[in-house]
């Protein structure tokens, strides 16, 4: 069963203080406590605390940052919520499928990203994620507010955690690489592929597709070290 202390709830560019408070309340009712605010467009204020009800402690301990990559640095499974189809290569799962993945307990740190209320996560922000998350809704009215979305996601994780523990100790857990180590490998790989003229500057979609292949593979640190060794050998051979 996953320890909820491993999970970061990351609100990106949230614009209304009441939504931050409502998100904190949703977190506490489901047993989560790690709230991160990245480039918030408002401050935590009395409206936030009013909407949080008895979850003010979540707000008291919230982390505020202007660097999303830094917040995600140690995470090795990053989930990005999206309400619409994107033109980037990323696997999209529903909340129940996400709950199944999270409760495999293969990951050291997990992040769940929710974007700005008006526009959601940008493609660039979503491209940092291991997987996308879409909540099915009425096609004629798809609008879910931030806290409602978060409540649904966390409920599914909690329900799976409490009601299906049969997987425990059945999975061969590897040392899955952190997002920081994975990003280092991807930067190294993209440099090598450009050096050998496989990647052209005018083909950014190819880079995203290649990156996504490795992001969804849940590579271990050992596997990344092996792959970086291959890249270094290619560099040496090309000189």
Q: What is the CATH number of the domain that holds 204?
A: 1.10.8.590
Q: How many CB atoms lie within 10 A of CB 70?
A: 11
Residue 101 sits in the same domain as residue 127: yes
- 169: in domain: no
172 pLDDT band, cuts 50/70/90, is very low
Task: Specify if 71 maps to a domain.
Answer: yes
Both 157 and 183 in one domain: the answer is: no
**Would 170 be classed as within a structural domain?**
no
**Residue 144 contacts residue 83 (beta carbons within 8 Å):** yes
Instruction: Give the pLDDT confidence score for residue 169 in this predicted structure.
Output: 41
In total, how many domains does the chain have?
A: 2
Nearest to 127 by CA among 25, 205, 14, 196: 205
Domain that holds residue 145: 4-163
Both 55 and 149 in a single domain? yes
Do 149 and 214 share a domain, yes or no? no
Q: How large is the average pLDDT for residues 221-227?
A: 88
Asked whether residue 1 carries a pLDDT value surpassing 70, the answer given is no
**Highest-pLDDT range among 46-60, 74-88, 96-110:** 46-60
Residue 69 has pLDDT above 90, yes or no: yes
Whole-model pTM?
Answer: 0.73
Q: Mean of the per-residue pLDDT values for the chain?
A: 88
Q: Do 184 and 157 belong to one domain? A: no
């Amino acid at each position: 069963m996953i320890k909820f202390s491993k999970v970061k709830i990351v609100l990106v560019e949230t614009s209304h203080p009441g939504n931050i408070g409502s998100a904190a309340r949703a977190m506490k009712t489901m047993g989560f406590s790690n709230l991160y605010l990245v480039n918030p467009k408002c401050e935590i204020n009395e409206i936030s605390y009013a909407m949080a009800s008895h979850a003010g402690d979540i707000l008291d301990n919230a982390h505020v940052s202007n660097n999303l990559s830094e917040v995600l640095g140690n995470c090795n499974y990053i989930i990005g919520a999206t309400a619409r189809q994107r033109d980037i290569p990323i696997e999209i799962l529903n909340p129940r499928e996400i709950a199944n993945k999270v409760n495999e307990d293969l990951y050291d740190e997990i992040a769940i990203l929710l974007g700005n209320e008006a526009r959601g996560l940008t493609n660039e922000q979503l491209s940092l994620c291991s997987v996308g998350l879409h909540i099915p809704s009425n096609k004629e009215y798809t609008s879910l507010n931030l806290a409602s979305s978060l409540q649904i996601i966390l409920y599914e994780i909690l329900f799976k955690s409490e009601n299906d523990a049969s997987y425990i100790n059945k999975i061969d857990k590897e040392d899955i690489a952190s997002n920081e180590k994975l990003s280092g490998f991807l930067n190294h790989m993209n440099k090598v592929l450009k050096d050998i003229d496989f990647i052209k500057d005018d083909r950014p979609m190819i880079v995203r597709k290649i990156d996504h292949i490795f992001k969804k593979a849940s590579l271990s640190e050992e596997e990344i070290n092996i792959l970086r060794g291959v890249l270094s050998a290619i560099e040496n051979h090309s000189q």
